[in-house]
Structure 1
Amino acid sequence: MLRVPGQDDGDDGGVITPYNPDWPRSFALERQRLQGLIEAVSIDHIGSTSVPGLAAKPIIDILVAVEAVERLDEKAGVLQAAGYDVLGEYGLVGRRYLRRHAPDGSRSHHIHVYQQGDESHRRHLVFRDYLRIHAHERDAYTAAKLALVEAGADRKAYQSGKGAFVAALEHRALAWAAQ
């Protein structure tokens, strides 16, 4: 377990851990919970916790497709009552972002909601699938994250360094998907 300096916000947001085989079960439980709250077209496990063998922050990322994001906006009160932080687009046009915390106060789930057919929705799935199939890319991604932490990268440097690696990786994943 390694901590990204400057990310000690009391919620494990800065801790990178080896892959945990319990993460898919955590996703499945949250998926059931979400299905009871929103009208989803699909609910998928994404992000580093969705790729067996990939080191990750222990926060489950979930991708939801809905017919209309505006209908999700109308359920903000219901979602808040169910324990979600409803944060709107949160910096990404067209996305709706929800967050949930575990009973101990740590962040446990990030939910990214897009309208069905949105290109960002597809890109998340392609990226995940590419890493699941290409072990050498998964291992390189793990090595890149760990190298940044071991080099003492603070939050900004970690995000920047990881972002550059992810952008190149996403480019390769989209080229792979286009074949």
Structure 2
Amino acid sequence: MDKVEVVDYNEQWPRKYVYEANVIRNILVGELITITHIGSTAVPGLKAKPTIDILAFVKDVKKLDDLNEKFEAAGYRCLGEDGIKGRRFFMKSDNSVHVHAYDDNNRDRIEALLAFYDYLKDNPEVAKEYEDLKVKLAKKYPRNIKKYTQGKAAFTKEIETKAVNRYRHKDIEQI
């Protein structure tokens, strides 16, 4: 089972994102539309699992399969859809970075991811609830990432619904 660890916010996370985003930009030349830092490490002050999540919005996600060698040369494992239809998932070999790539066919998923973390940034009391839940679940399931994730599911779905409703007026291309 995967170790579940929730740690204090690390001021280095935004820098690590910038570094890895530049690596990914160089791999995705001609395919990348936009790239952004998502996940709990993107929310200043929020405790998180020490994994940088990156969202890459690309022109055609299927074309990324031709770039697997470049991702591997940059230290990533190429995991294909990894359980989410229409996504390409790349994981740094030390599990410190996850890249979630989608194209316009998954605009709803992109919107949900962006909305969720913007909502947490704008609502510190909700972010604190989420943090407390993650800490509690990490203690309860220190070696079971699946149960940890399942334990967060109802809360994240509720917040995601609120966040997307609030977010609908934004234009994804401006992000």
TM interval, shorter chain, is 0.7 to 0.9
Equivalent position to 1:86, from 57, 67, 78: 78
CA distance, structure 1, for counterparts of residue 24 and residue 165 of structure 2: 32
Higher deviation after alignment, 150-159 or 33-42: 150-159
2:169 aligned with 1:174, yes or no? no
Question: Which stretches of structure 1, 4 residues or longer, exceed 3 Å deviation after superposition?
Answer: 150-154
**1:152–1:89 CA distance, 2 compared to 1 (3 A):** closer
- The alpha-carbon deviation at position 7 of structure 1 amounts to 2.9
Q: TM-score, normalised by structure 1?
A: 0.85
* CA deviation after TM superposition for structure 1 residue 94, in Å: 0.7
1:43 to 35, 40, 55: 35
Identity of aligned residues (%): 35
2:114 aligns with 125
Aligned to 2:2: 7
How far residue 80 of structure 1 moved from its aligned partner, in angstroms, is 1.6
Q: Per the alignment, in what secondary structure is the counterpart of residue 175 of structure 1?
A: helix
- Partner of 2:71: helix, strand, or coil? helix
Which residue does 1:60 correspond to in 2?
52
Quick check: which one's helix share is greater? 2
SS state at 2:47 partner = coil
Secondary structure at the residue paired with 1:15? Answer: coil
**TM-score between both structures, scaled by the size of structure 2:** 0.87
Match of 1:163 in 2: 153
Distance 1:91 1:163 in 2: 16
CA distance in 1, matches of 2:78, 2:124: 35
TM superposition shift of 1:152: 4.9
**Residue 81 of structure 1, CA deviation:** 2.2
Q: Does 1:34 align with 2:24?
A: yes
1:159 Cα shift?
1.7
